[in-house]
Amino acid sequence: MVYDLEFLKNFDGDILPSQINMSELVNVIEKHVSQFRYYYHSDIPQFSELIIEFSNLHIPHLLGLSRKHHFTLPTYQAREIINNLKKEWDLEYLRNGDEQWFAENQDKLVGVLLLYQLLHIQNCKVLTPLNIVNTTFGKRFKRDNVYFVILKTTNDKEYTIELAPMENSTQVFIPKSLKINDTHVQKCREISLTFLKSERIKYDKKRKKGRK
């Protein structure tokens, strides 16, 4: 199986998580999904124009490769995790290090492969929990500062990407978490979100050099 753009556009979620190639997953997401800004128009007046910014550094968290979810990784630095997944850390390595991680997060591997469709609003629903943040169902959304949820149903499962405002911004949002079959979204209000365009993020080379 080739992981390429056509695969991402047509992926129906029908794959065994145990058969996913982690190196190919990271490379195809980096090439076609992450390091982009996505522009949208919504029918919520205060967010009529909004942006989702998705960087490589979000990928490990969405895969559950964090200190809270996988207990034996030699590093929890997102950039280092990405580099290791491309080269040395295959699925067998990750499972051997923490079998419970795979049991709890295997569906997230499938969900990451659906990110292209989620971010392009391809046969997806978009919801907002802003109407329930002060209710019992909305406590988690309020705690995590989640404003929007994009949901895709495929292969009898619901995959949702939660979006929170970027620090010091009211227009730019980042992926907060990836969840499967989240019952909390049932109370969220459906909205209209139209994908307009995507642009590759271009970093200032001088700033990048200065951080080394």
d(Cα 109, Cα 131) in Å, to the nearest integer? Answer: 30
pLDDT tens figures, 86-115: 998 999 999 999 999 999 999 999 999 999
Q: For residue 116, what are the contacts with CB-CB under 8 A and spacing of at least 6?
A: 5, 8, 9, 11, 32, 33, 122
pLDDT digits over 115-156, tens only?
A: 999 999 999 999 999 999 999 889 999 999 999 999 999 999
Confidence tier at 207 by pLDDT (50, 70, 90): very low
Count of C-beta atoms within a 10 Å radius of residue 174: 18
The structure tokens listed for 21 are 């190639």
DSSP 62: H
